[in-house]
Structure formats: C-alpha cells, structure tokens
Chains A and B, each alone.
Chain A
C-alpha cells in the first residue's frame, strides 16, 4: 500500500525498457528488478469450494470461523509494513490468539502491486488473501472480481462511510494527515498549513513522495486544499498552495522514510498520524524530540480498504483476519499505532479508550468532524492533481 525505495519493484515491462538501455550502453543505472514473491510449497491444500457460500461454510460466529481457520492453518497477507499503524502488533496478537500463521509478503508493496500480486498469483497456495488498498483502487479491484462480499460480525458497528454496502470492503482504520516536526532541529514547531509558509522553514517541509503516486502526499494536497478555501470537490487551492510553497523554497520532496527522518534530512514531515508511533523508539534513541500535530486549519482523514480476496486458498482464515482487524483487539492495536479504528465510537461507548490512548490521538472533536470524500470526489481530485502537479509544482 505504500512505497519504500529499498523495495522498489519495477513491473517487468518497465524493467524491459531499462534492460534495453542497460544492455546497449553498459549502463550504470539499473532499475531494481521486479520482486515477485517466491512461492514455496504450500503446507495446506486449498479448500474444496472456496468461493460460493464460503461465509456459511466458515460459520457465523468468531468461534466457528476460528475453528475452521485453525484447520487451514495459515493466511497470506500482503503490504502490511511493521511500523504502519502497528501492523506488527496486530499480526502478533492474531497469531498468538488463534495459532494461525500469518506471513506478510512484500510488506512495502503499493496498492497497485497488491492487485498485480492477486492477478499473477491467483490459483497458487501463496496468493494474497486479504488486501489493504487505497480507496481509489476499490472499484478497479471490484471490477476485476477480486473482492469477496463478506461482512465481518461487527458489521453494524462500522460507520457507513467506512464500508462497501455490498460487503466487498471495510475501512477498518483511518489516519489524519499530520505535521510532524523534529523539534530538536526546528524548535519553532509549525501548527498550521499557513505556518509552513514562514521563511524559517526553508527547505524543511517534506511531503511524503509525490501526490501522483503516494497516498500520503495525495492526502497532503487535499488537506491543504481544505485549509485554503477548497473542498473535496475542488482541490485546486491545495495544488496552488504547494506551488507557492515550492516557489518559497520551503518544499522538499524526498520520501519520508525511517532513515531520512533519523538522519535529520526531514525536519518537518507531512504524513499520516499512524506512521509516527512506530518510529518513536528509534527517534528517542537518536535524541530527537518529535512532535506530531494535526494542523488547525485543514483536517483530512484517509482510510485504507480491507477485503477478503475471492477464491482464497484459506477462505476461513482470511475471514478471521478481517474479523480480527475490526474486533476490539484489532481496533486497540490500531490505536496503539496512532491510527483511528473504524469502530472508534463503539469502543468509546464501551469505555475501552483510556486516557493514555486518547493522548496519542487528535482531539475527540477533531475526530468527530472528519468526513471522507466519495469515490467520485477522489477520482476528480486525482485527475486534477495528475494533470496539474507536474507543471504547477514538480516542474517549478
């Protein structure tokens, strides 16, 4: 679902072009070759009829599903980085609780990579069985027939804006776009989008990748639009904002990776709230005081959609994993990683959100005010950014 340049996978065809150049020129600069996950011999065989009616086959309560899943023994996950929204912790709790293997192939894969993996590994015992994709990929995945209609048992407690009505996906967590400042390098911590234009932040404001490619960067543009008079329907003010930031010399566009943050290369990062708790121990060790602030003038929440994949070799284990993500335990796991679980309101009601956890989150009223763009609004924003980011920002 995201990118890390150490794991850059160039699709084979693009690699072909590089190969052409490399062969012909003895070139020095090769694209990293594609990283197709190797398939190992599967320990378990695929279920007899994995698709139709598998939901019933697996049972309707967690205990029934867990028993069937245990027989399958394994669920193949993809694109879940350890430090992303505390996925390591959530996976560990799943493995411990249910005694089911949950290997993650290509943890740093992008959404596009995930769909490619489903397409190419379909029918193999190692194919990814649960996806975690950007909302804009849901339609494409649905059209391709990859998304199983499956409603986890807590379905009714998930807000309507965070689930597909037909049950093809749930957005089990979301984050808020934050301004994170390394206060050791930049003691004057910016609090708003307007602050970032100040001359003292020259060369320091780091957008995480490129909005034509990275979800977090895309979110930054939309959030900046909201802060500057735009809306989900019109993100142009966000592009204009970054254009101005670039002209002021404040914007730098390197990837916000752990290494870049720890080296001090990134004094101010624009990224999801849930990308920082995972970095905290290393940052403290490096002696950095890191402050994550939700900007006062533009709040944008973004979710990733989780779906069980059709014809999964371990259909019940895949359903169990989805249930785990939206369960109280999974939700608390997300909270630990700084992400807001879909069932936030339900957890609040149950009194499961302690003051300690709440301290890591944006204020409750900020969370309550978060709305999500519709598919059409996202598509429109995407088209506008794809067309204008190059000439207005990247090329300036």
Chain B
C-alpha cells in the first residue's frame, strides 16, 4: 500500500531531521573522519590502539559494568513490574511506584552520586550509623568507587527504567490467558513457560539492551564516584581534557567511534527485538 506524505508530516519531520542531522550525524561523520586519519593521513592505527592495552581493559570493564547493572536492574525491574501487576491493594501503591520510577529513571549524574556519597560514602550518614552499631562499612571492602559501588548506584536508575519499559508488556498479559491455560490443564509453571514468558522475552531483552547502553555511556555519575575509574567514558576524558596527556585527540576520537559503533549495534538489536514483540502482539 502506497501512501503520500502529507504536509503536516513534513512540517513536523523537517526540523527534527535537520536537528538530528546537524547535531548527531554531522558530528559522528566528522568524528569518523578524524578517527581514521590519525596525524593527518588515512590509517587504522588510532582505531587499533583504541582497543589495545589499558584501553582494552577499559572497554572490558565498561562492558562488565554495563552488563552487570543491566542484568541485575533488568531482573529486579521485571520482578517489580510483575509483583505490582498482581497487586490490587493498596491502590495508591501502584501510582506511587509509577511516579517514583518516572523520576528516578531520569535521575543520574552528580546529584545521584552525591546522594550516595552522603549516605554510604566513607563519611556518610548511614556509614556512621552502621559504625556506631559495630559494622565498619569502609573496612568491609565495600566502596562506592569500586565496581560493585558503581553497580549499586547505577541500579538506582536502572531498576525504575526497566520497570517503566516492562510495565506495558506485563500489563498486556491478560488474565483470561492464564484461565484458559488452566482450563486446558496447564499448571501455573507451564503457563509461565509456554505463554507468559515467550510474550515477555522480546521486550525484556529490548529493555536489557536499553539499560546496557544507558550504563555504558554513564559519565558524570562515574566521574564523581571515582574520577580515576578504568572505564571508557573517563578514558575519553583523560585523552581530551586533562593536564597530563597531550596530542592524543585522534585516539580519543577512535575510542568514541568504537563506543558509538557499540551503541549503534545495540540500538539495531533493540529495533529488531521490538519488531518481534510488535508482531507477536499483532497476531
């Protein structure tokens, strides 16, 4: 079926496309050119160095951090959505969690990091209270600037984000399906295995990728918690904006290009998975 663009669509689309072109595609193209022309002539040396040595470990750390916080945040967010779905009372709880999620999913950066430092940093309120109770948090090996500290802080925005993403899918599970399954003799376990989970899986995976990208690119939060963290966004900072390393812009551009490629690949996957979800819902 063929459709012509109507005027309204064009009026809306042109400014958007112009914006995206100017502020997304143009910079990315410029970046790619610089990444592939280290020192002024065409070559792959910058792209190569960007995934070697300590930059390789930065990518590995960032991937591990993003994957861990995505999987934990994804599972907890899904559980939250499922438990709220079957919860009828009290009525205010659902709307409270909804509003909180909408806010918390967007909360990040310096304020969030500071909130955690004030609570469980080495001089934090909770740390001090635990200290009085005889538990020395800094001595226990936990630190906000280490891997699990970062994961914990990231979870604060990952869980509500997953909740928001999963709520429509979870809400789409009709009670009649469970009833139909049980009439046909399926156990609750069988119902989940054969009906509910296959329905939820595509959007769950889509949500996971979203969380993954979200935490991979997190910059300000990580910077406040540990300015020396061996992760990709901070490595880019060292190369572009420091007082020590000079003349390594090309390497920084190459790392950014790798990051963008990674994010683009993730976005592509999200798109494919979401199409599958939509197909399922349509049939």
Contact = CB atoms under 8 A, between A and B. Distances in A.
A89 interface: no
Contacts of A32: 109, 220
A212 interface: yes
B253 A13 contact: yes
Contacts of B245: 212-213, 382, 386
A16 B157 contact: no
Interface string A189-225: 0000000000000110001011111110110000000
B11 to A, nearest CB: 21
A212 B242 contact: yes
B194 interface: no
Contact of A21 (B54, B216, B230): B216
A185 B199 CA distance: 57
Given A21-B216, A28-B107, A213-B227, A1 B243 contact: yes
B260 A29 contact: no
B24 to A, nearest CB: 6
Contact of A12 (B27, B230, B247, B252): B27
Interface range for B:
35 or more
A81 interface: no
B178 interface: no
A30 B138 contact: no
Interface string A1-38: 11101101111111011111111111111111000000
Nearest to A2: B243
Contacts of A264: 123
Nearest to A379: B246
Given A28-B157, A209-B228, A394-B229, A214 B244 contact: yes
Contacts of B237: 10, 14, 213
B263 A10 contact: no
Given A5-B110, A9-B241, A16-B28, A24 B58 contact: no
Interface stretch (A96-104, A249-257, A312-320): A249-257
B130 to A, nearest CB: 14
Given A13-B256, A19-B24, A265-B123, A28 B106 contact: yes
B96 to A, nearest CB: 19
B61 interface: yes
Contacts of A212: 228, 238, 242, 244-245
A32 B220 CA distance: 7
A365 to B, nearest CB: 29
A20 B24 contact: yes
B38 interface: no
Contact of B217 (A18, A254, A388): A18
A220 B183 CA distance: 73
A29 B108 contact: yes
B218 to A, nearest CB: 4
B229 A213 contact: no
A369 B250 CA distance: 39
B5 interface: no
B68 interface: no
Contacts of B143: 203, 252
Nearest to B117: A265
A155 interface: no
Interface string A50-72: 00000000000000000000000
A390 B58 contact: yes
B23 A203 contact: no
Interface string B16-31: 0000000110011011
B65 interface: no
A385 to B, nearest CB: 8
Interface stretch (A106-114, A169-177, A328-336): A106-114
B228 A253 contact: yes
B226 interface: yes
Contacts of A1: 243
A134 interface: yes
A23 B229 CA distance: 25
B24 A16 contact: yes
Contact of A112 (B28, B109, B236, B242): B242
Contacts of B244: 134, 136, 211-215, 218, 382, 385-386
A385 B97 CA distance: 47
With most chain B CB atoms within 10 A of its CB, the pick from A31, A140, A215, A387 is: A31
Contacts of B123: 263-265
Contacts of B107: 28
Contacts of B225: 254
B241 A137 contact: no
B203 interface: no
A395 interface: yes
B63 interface: no
A111 B238 CA distance: 12
Contact of A11 (B108, B219, B228, B241): B241
A29 B214 contact: yes
A254 B243 contact: no
A351 interface: no
Interface in B201-258: 210, 213-221, 223-230, 233-234, 236-238, 240-247, 252-253, 256
Give the 10 A-B residue pairs with the shortest CB-CB distance, closest first: A390-B54, A210-B228, A29-B108, A21-B217, A213-B242, A28-B108, A29-B218, A16-B27, A215-B243, A394-B230
13 contacts: A16-B31, A17-B256, A20-B264, A21-B216, A23-B24, A24-B213, A25-B217, A28-B106, A29-B221, A140-B246, A213-B238, A213-B243, A382-B245
Given A32-B220, A110-B242, 20 more contacts: A3-B227, A8-B223, A14-B233, A14-B240, A16-B23, A18-B233, A21-B213, A22-B217, A27-B218, A29-B108, A29-B218, A111-B242, A136-B244, A137-B246, A140-B246, A209-B227, A214-B227, A253-B145, A265-B121, A387-B53
Interface of A: 1-3, 5-6, 8-14, 16-32, 110-113, 134, 136-137, 139-140, 202-203, 207, 209-215, 217-218, 249, 252-255, 263-265, 382, 385-391, 394-395
